[in-house]
Amino acid sequence: MTAVPEVVTVGEAMAALRATGPIRLAPPMELSVAGAEANVAIGLARLGRRARWVGRVGADPFGALVLRTLRAEGVDTAHTRVDTDGRPTGLLVREDSIGDLASVHYYRERSAGSALCPEDVLPALGPGTRVLHLTGITPALGPSAARTVEAAVARARELGITVSLDVNHRARLWSQDRARRTLLPLARAADILIASADELHLVADDPTLDEADTVAALLDRGTREIVLTRGGAGGSVATTRGTHHAPARRVPVVDVVGAGDAFAAGYLSALLDGLTVEQRLHRATDTAAFAVATRGDWEGLPTRTDLALLDTPAGTTLR
């Protein structure tokens, strides 16, 4: 019998091709799996929490890769659906440019993930689940996926499940105006809101307010915790009891893709562990440090044992 998941994430996982140079020059490519919600599920599983990812994949080798990867990482895929209507698994192609610049090309229109529907997701939520984690990426995929996210939030509210929403705006998927119209009602229902500082206006009733006033307005509106990711400056959490800040861990930066998902996984794992808001924030910056210090969206995510490695002296060899 499958154990009840503590966290359910909903979204699209894709095959990911990473080019080692400009695509027009036909460089070697590395194949992996990507998707914000899947990344968070992997991060939670590595930190010892029971995580379930719900989505759709195509009946193709890329879909098999997604499922194999998630299952190997200990993520529950019992409610994931293999699309039988010919829709393919989505594809992401990343192209590294000069310095640390990178471009991401999406091939996810009419993908299996865009056809996600409420009937796929609602059975995956039940008593015992503590957190529903969503991002602003999924509703950008199409009307069916947007309805699914809305239905999942409504069911979570009925069951008393904490709703976590990472704004995670993707400009290549939809405009800011369209994103705001869809994300604003979702954010109003969220208990935990995760965003970068430049995304806050997308979920604020008054988008003209500055950061401090926006955070105050969101707390007044009923959001329990506002978690702000600040890249190399770390992060902060605001509640009605005050605001906490934590600097980023200083590690060699190899790849920043997936850092926000790592941050979210660390924060939610600490929430489930019953840690204080300040301790959650430090866990989040620790997991983000592991993500940026390694290549790939999720490959460098830490286990619970790994977290202690950040406090070892530089140059230490563990024997």
Average pLDDT over residues 219-245: 96
Residues of the chain above pLDDT 90, percent:
85
Question: 3-state DSSP: the chain helix, strand, coil percent, rounded to 5?
Answer: 40, 20, 40
Q: At how many degrees (to 10) do helices 277-292 and 259-272 cross?
A: 150
Average pLDDT of the chain to the nearest whole number: 94
**Matching residue, tokens 């840690």:** 275
Residue type at 206?
D
Name the token pair of 219. Answer: 């707390």
Predicted local distance difference test score (pLDDT) of residue 101: 73
Average pLDDT over residues 189-209: 95
Domains of the chain: 7-12+35-88+109-301 (3.40.1190.20)
More confident residue, 117 or 104: 117
Predicted local distance difference test score (pLDDT) of residue 99: 64
Residues of the chain above pLDDT 70, percent:
97
Residue type at 245?
H
Predicted local distance difference test score (pLDDT) of residue 1: 45
User: What dihedral do alpha carbons 223, 262, 213, 274 form, nearest 10°?
Assistant: 40
Mapping DSSP onto H, E and C, the string for 55-80 reads CEEECCHHHHHHHHHHHHCCCECCCC
Residue-wise pLDDT tens digits, 41-57: 999 999 999 999 999 99
Average pLDDT over residues 281-304: 95
- Residue 2 pLDDT > 70, yes or no? no
**Band of the pLDDT at 8, cuts 50, 70, 90?**
very high
H or E element that contains 98: none
Predicted local distance difference test score (pLDDT) of residue 100: 65
Q: Are 147 and 118 within 8 A, CB to CB?
A: yes
The reported pTM is: 0.95
Q: Are 140 and 174 within 8 A, CB to CB?
A: yes
Q: Is-catalytic flag, 120?
A: no
Residue-wise pLDDT tens digits, 49-97: 999 999 999 999 999 999 999 999 999 999 999 999 999 999 999 987 7
Predicted local distance difference test score (pLDDT) of residue 118: 97
**Band of the pLDDT at 143, cuts 50, 70, 90?**
very high
- Residue 248 pLDDT > 90, yes or no? yes
Instruction: Please measure the distance between the N-terminal and C-terminal CA atoms of the chain and give it in whole angstroms.
Output: 39
**Matching residue, tokens 């307010």:** 209
Residue count of the chain, please give it: 319
Predicted local distance difference test score (pLDDT) of residue 312: 77
**Matching residue, tokens 């998927």:** 173
The catalytic position among 255, 261, 286, 297 is: 261
Distance CA 156, CA 163 (A): 7
